[in-house]
């Protein structure tokens, strides 16, 4: 059945409630993954602390420190590989990407973001991947957030969209490099995540291992 969607760009969509049926399993799986590779606050090259807590699963994990942003095959905290990308993450991402017109999406990296009240994410582009022909698939879990979706420049006009538990956003093609971010989370409560929000951002890096 086709779910309700909001078009946010020529090749960008928010599929409302797309992951609702498996949302509880996704949250449980995140808890298992974060027990293996804990959430942590990273720093930027300039020494600023990234406000959202992050970790990864999949072959590649996105990291940031004084050397800058990049993908790594080992979790810098443990020097062990990141936990495997769970099949359920892969299948929901492939299915949402397919719905958006991007067939055969096979992510090799999943960034897990965790936001507490007052925490957001500044406008940025996802451009650390080598192959930009694959879309970004972004799954929201827990308390709602406001997604900022802009243009190709930081100061381009931008729009705001509500992302709720179970919503899946997909953008690629012409929209792949659009600036985006999250407004600081408002105080709210969700039975599965308490005051917080998780986001899974699935990407295909294009790196060959």
Ligand X SMILES: O=C(O)CCC(=O)C(=O)O
Q: Which residue in the shown chain puts its C-beta closest to ligand X?
A: 199
Q: Closer CB to ligand X, residue 1 or residue 108?
A: 108
Q: Closer CB to ligand X, residue 59 or residue 180?
A: 180
Q: Which of 110, 137, 182, 202 binds ligand X (CB under 6 A)?
A: 182
Alpha carbon separation from 90 to 14, 63, 85, 154, 178 (Å, rounded): 18, 21, 7, 30, 23
Q: Closer CB to ligand X, residue 94 or residue 170?
A: 170
Count residues near ligand X (CB under 6 A).
12
Radius of gyration of the chain (CA): 16
CB of 95 to ligand X, least distance (A): 18
* 21 CB-near residues (< 8 Å, 6+ apart): none
CB of 191 to ligand X, least distance (A): 20
| Short-list 115, 114, 119, 131, CA closest to 172 | 131
**Stretch 110-149 residues interacting with ligand X (CB under 6 A):** 111, 113, 121, 126, 138, 140, 147
Residue 129 burial (CB count, 10 A): 20
Q: What are phi and psi of 4, to 5 degrees?
A: -65, 135
Contacts with ligand X by CB under 6 A lie at: 111, 113, 121, 126, 138, 140, 147, 163, 180, 182, 199, 201
């Amino acid at each position: 059945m086709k779910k309700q969607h909001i078009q946010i760009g020529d090749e960008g969509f928010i599929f409302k409630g797309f992951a609702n049926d498996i949302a509880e399993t996704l949250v449980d799986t995140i808890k298992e993954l974060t027990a293996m590779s804990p959430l942590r606050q990273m720093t930027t090259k300039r020494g600023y602390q990234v406000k959202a807590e992050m970790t990864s699963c999949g072959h590649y994990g996105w990291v940031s420190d004084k050397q800058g942003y990049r993908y790594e095959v080992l979790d810098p905290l443990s020097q062990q590989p990141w936990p495997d990308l769970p099949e359920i993450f892969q299948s929901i991402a492939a299915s949402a990407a397919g719905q958006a017109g991007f067939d055969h999406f096979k992510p090799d990296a999943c960034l897990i973001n965790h936001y507490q009240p007052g925490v957001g994410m500044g406008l940025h582009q996802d451009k650390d991947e080598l192959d930009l022909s694959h879309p970004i698939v972004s799954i929201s879990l827990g308390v709602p957030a406001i997604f900022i979706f802009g243009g190709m420049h930081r100061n381009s006009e931008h729009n705001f969209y509500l992302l709720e538990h179970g919503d899946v956003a997909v953008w690629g093609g012409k929209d792949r490099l659009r600036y985006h971010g999250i407004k600081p989370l408002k105080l709210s409560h969700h039975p599965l995540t308490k005051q917080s929000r998780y986001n899974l951002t699935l990407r295909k890096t294009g790196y060959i291992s």
